């Protein structure tokens, strides 16, 4: 009963705001802007579908060269066909540390320097699975390899000192505190997909604070945002009932990613590590219980570094 009340309260609170309805009314008040990304190189993960694809489309239309990363080369080829030669496909499975390392090596070898990194890839997996490297798949995809990719690109000076990093989190993070011990649940009996996703998404927000504090002084800007609720294959696959009930009012990809494009174009200085949604910093917590944690952003970074160190 308590769970049912929590769910009703959650949807009561967020349905108007997170769907296309909230986007429509908020956007009436926004000043128009025309992004100009000519001369910039973007790296977008999870680029061949859903929100990643919408980001690629908008960045390429505004003149950026976009390195688009996903697993399926067929889907990436379709992306190039749709958005032109400014899109450079790069295949990698970002649930795998070795593939992520190989991706970084390929980028370093290419000599390209990156202006905007969008850590977009992520999934909510209802069914437990382990990667071939022995990690719970959503942990590896949603946060561990974001950390690896970002840190290696910084270490190798591929991310420019005036670059922007945008981490695509989720309102789902409202359901978990920072909990390092629950990041990589490798026992199927203890795995719960929705909660694991919330823990990873909270982790992305906390990592953004760590990166802002550590690399911000160099001039890099780190943002974490959520897209609201958008109609994507990922949502349809992971939350079929939610999708069935709400699909008529879900955001489209452009609406879900408008804030990412706006952040990259305007680079606001407000509250480093703040949680952005629809061009504004929103509360990072809506439940008092998630504010309590013995873990810290720097502790999370240490943990992820240690986890990566296990595989040589």
Ligand X SMILES: NC(=O)c1ccc[n+]([C@@H]2O[C@H](COP(=O)([O-])OP(=O)(O)OC[C@H]3O[C@@H](n4cnc5c(N)ncnc54)[C@H](OP(=O)(O)O)[C@@H]3O)[C@@H](O)[C@H]2O)c1
**What distances in angstroms separate CA 242 from CA 2, 29, 74, 223, 262, one per listed residue?**
20, 29, 29, 28, 28
Which residue in this structure is represented by tokens 């690629």?
56
Least distance from ligand X to the Cβ atom of residue 205, Å: 12
Residues with Cβ within 8 Å of residue 61, at least 6 apart in sequence: 83
Work out how close the CB of 238 gets to ligand X at its nearest, in angstroms, rounded to a whole number: 8
Considering the complex, what minimum distance in angstroms separates the CB of residue 300 from ligand X?
A: 17
Q: Which is nearer to ligand X, 160 or 172 (CB)?
A: 172
Pairwise CA distance, residues 299 & 280, whole Å: 28
Q: Least distance to ligand X from the beta carbon of 104, Å?
A: 14
Q: For residues 52 and 273, which CB has a smaller minimum distance to ligand X in the complex?
A: 52
Residue 130 DSSP class: B
Measured from the CB atom, the residue of 49 and 216 that comes closer to ligand X is 49
- d(Cα 34, Cα 57) in Å, to the nearest integer? 14
The contact set with ligand X (CB under 6 A) reads 46-52, 70-72, 75, 92-95, 120-123, 141, 168, 170, 226-227, 229-230, 232-235
Closest residue to ligand X, judged by C-beta, is: 50
Q: In degrees rounded to 5, what are phi and psi of residue 125?
A: -105, 110
Taking the complex as a whole, the smallest distance from the CB of residue 217 to ligand X amounts, in Å, to 28
Q: Of the two residues 40 and 45, which places its CB atom closer to ligand X in the complex?
A: 45
* Shortest Å, Cβ 94 to ligand X: 4
Euclidean distance between CA atoms 117 and 138, whole angstroms: 20
Nearer to ligand X, 75 or 112 (CB): 75
Count Cα neighbours of 120 within 13 Å in the Cβ-side half-sphere: 29
State which residue, 160 or 205, has the beta carbon closest to ligand X.
Answer: 205
For the chain, where are the E strands, in sequence order?
A: 41-45, 65-70, 87-91, 114-119, 159-168, 221-225, 275-277, 280-282
């Amino acid at each position: 009963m308590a769970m049912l009340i929590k769910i009703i309260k959650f949807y009561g609170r967020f349905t108007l705001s997170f769907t296309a309805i909230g986007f429509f009314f908020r956007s009436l008040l926004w000043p128009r802007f025309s992004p100009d990304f000519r001369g910039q190189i973007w790296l977008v993960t999870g680029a061949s579908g859903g929100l990643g694809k919408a980001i690629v489309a908008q960045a390429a239309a505004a003149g950026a060269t976009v390195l688009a990363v996903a697993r399926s080369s067929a889907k990436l080829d379709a992306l190039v066909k749709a958005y032109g030669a400014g899109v450079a496909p790069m295949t990698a499975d970002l649930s795998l540390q070795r593939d992520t390392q190989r991706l970084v090596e390929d980028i370093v070898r290419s000599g390209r320097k990156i202006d905007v990194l969008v850590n977009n890839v992520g999934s909510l997996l209802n069914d437990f699975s382990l990667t071939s490297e022995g990690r719970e798949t959503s942990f590896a995809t949603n946060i561990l390899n974001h950390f690896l990719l970002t840190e290696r690109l910084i270490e190798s000076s591929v991310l420019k000192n005036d670059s922007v990093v945008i981490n695509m989190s989720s309102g789902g993070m409202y359901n978990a505190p920072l909990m390092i011990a629950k990041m990589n649940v490798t026992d199927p009996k203890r795995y719960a997909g929705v909660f694991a996703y919330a823990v990873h998404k909270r982790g992305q927000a906390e990592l953004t604070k760590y990166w802002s504090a550590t690399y911000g002084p160099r001039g890099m800007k780190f943002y974490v945002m959520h897209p609201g609720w958008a109609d994507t294959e990922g949502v349809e696959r992971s939350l079929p009932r939610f999708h069935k009930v709400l699909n008529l009012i879900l955001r489209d990809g452009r609406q879900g990613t408008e804030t990412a494009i706006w952040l990259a174009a305007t680079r606001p200085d407000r509250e480093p590590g703040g949680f952005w949604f629809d061009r504004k910093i929103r509360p990072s917590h809506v439940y008092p219980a998630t504010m309590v944690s013995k873990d810290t952003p720097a502790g999370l970074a240490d943990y992820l570094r240690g986890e990566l160190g296990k595989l040589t």
